A and B are shown apart, each in its own frame.
Chain A
Amino acid sequence: MNIQDAQIGLGGIQFFGKMAASISHEIKNVLAIINENAGLLEDICFMAERGRPIDPARLKKLSGSVKDQIRRADHIMTSMNRFAHSVDEASVSIDVSEVAELLVSLSARFIAMRGVVLAVGKPAGPVAITTFPFALLNLLWLCLDYAMAVVGPGKTIELFAEKTGDGAWFRFGKLEDMAADAAPLFPAERETALGQALHAQILRDPVASEIRVFLAQSRDA
């Protein structure tokens, strides 16, 4: 499989669709909260017209709540924008912390739905790798999806992006139930194909209870 296949393949489109659906759901939730706050303001005005005094503290609280939701929506849309641009170039230099941050942001709802906590560790300084960001995000999402299935009762996944030799690791750790997964379906065909396209190594290590994805600092597209 070449990089173009990884980019255009059905799996890539499904990944893009899954993330877009999750983001639109999040935005809908934000709009619902803003809608209720606006409705409450209308209710307060309606009551004020009938002689009930307006409490400035109440209005301040409402305005603060709307601002919070605008900040939340801005963060969601910034991530969506970065994700949309991740398909622009098949080979670009990118910092691993940025990739990890974007993965966390895109996956936030899925992580919450499964009652999992994702503890993210970043390297001390910038670690640049040259890669195809969209395909890398897709691969890391598939790793995270499997990690959530084998996280175990602790329900906490550690995600570390770190420099190693001439490249970088993404490490999903504390996967307590991984050793008990007798017939692992990971890495499956899709992960293997993405790994090959990205020249990445995917290691499933039940002894250390972790998944590691190694990427060389530079690769030939």
Chain B
Amino acid sequence: MTEKVLIVDDEKGFLDVLAERMQSRGMEVTTATSAKEALQKLEVETFDAIVLDLMMPEMGGIEALQRIKEKNPDSEVILLTGQPSVSKGVEAMKLGASDFLIKPADINELTEKIKLAKAHRMILVEKKTAKKMKDILRTKGW
């Protein structure tokens, strides 16, 4: 099944080529050049994984991650950054990021992480659905 991915990065030259390469690997890719644009897209669409740059003008990746998680705690966010700082990585993971990759990244590694993120999200969704079903069965008393 195709992975639906949102890539967010202010470097358009990076964004376009990465999107093309991921599409050629069978993924359905949407792009955003700012956190604000990404949040707008997330209002109307859901994704299996969100690949988010850490350093972006006006709203950085950490703030965007917080907002995404507030709106939808099940979102799988992979941070991709040129800033190889352990403290930022730890902060991002504490805020709920699924993974953290340093630029320049290997596309196979990124693809693998996206597939894992999708699998993780599906488990979460299935668990939630099962819980909902149980609650319905218990409360309705059929």
A interface with B by C-beta (< 8 Å) = 21, 25-26, 28-29, 31-37, 39-40, 43, 47, 65, 68-69, 109, 112-115
Contact = CB atoms under 8 A, between A and B. Distances in A.
Contacts of A69: 13
Contact of B17 (A36, A68, A109, A115): A36
B17 A37 contact: yes
Contacts of B60: 113
A40 B20 contact: yes
Contact of B82 (A32, A40, A43, A113): A32
A35 B11 CA distance: 13
B21 A36 contact: yes
B116 interface: no
Secondary structure class of chain B's binding surface, majority of residues: loop
30 contacts: A21-B83, A25-B55, A25-B83, A28-B83, A28-B84, A28-B103, A28-B104, A29-B11, A29-B14, A29-B82, A29-B103, A32-B11, A32-B14, A33-B11, A33-B14, A35-B103, A35-B104, A35-B105, A36-B14, A36-B18, A36-B21, A40-B20, A65-B13, A65-B17, A68-B13, A69-B13, A109-B55, A112-B57, A113-B55, A115-B57
A40 B14 contact: no
A40 B20 CA distance: 8
Going nearest first, the 4 A-B pairs with the smallest beta carbon separation are A28-B82, A35-B104, A32-B103, A36-B17
Contacts of B55: 25, 109, 113
A59 to B, nearest CB: 13
Contacts of A40: 17, 20-21
A12 to B, nearest CB: 22
Contacts of B105: 32, 35
Secondary structure class of chain A's binding surface, majority of residues: helix
Contacts of A39: 17, 21, 107
A40 B55 CA distance: 24
Nearest to B80: A32
A114 B60 CA distance: 10
A35 B105 CA distance: 8
A148 B21 CA distance: 38
Contacts of A114: 57-58
A26 B83 CA distance: 9
B87 interface: no
A50 to B, nearest CB: 12
B40 interface: no
A206 to B, nearest CB: 26
The CB with the most chain A CB atoms within 10 A, among B17, B20, B107, is that of B17
Nearest to A37: B17
A96 B53 CA distance: 36
Contacts of B57: 112-115
A115 B13 CA distance: 19
Interface string B84-95: 100000000000
B82 A33 contact: no
A68 B18 CA distance: 17
B37 to A, nearest CB: 14
B28 to A, nearest CB: 17
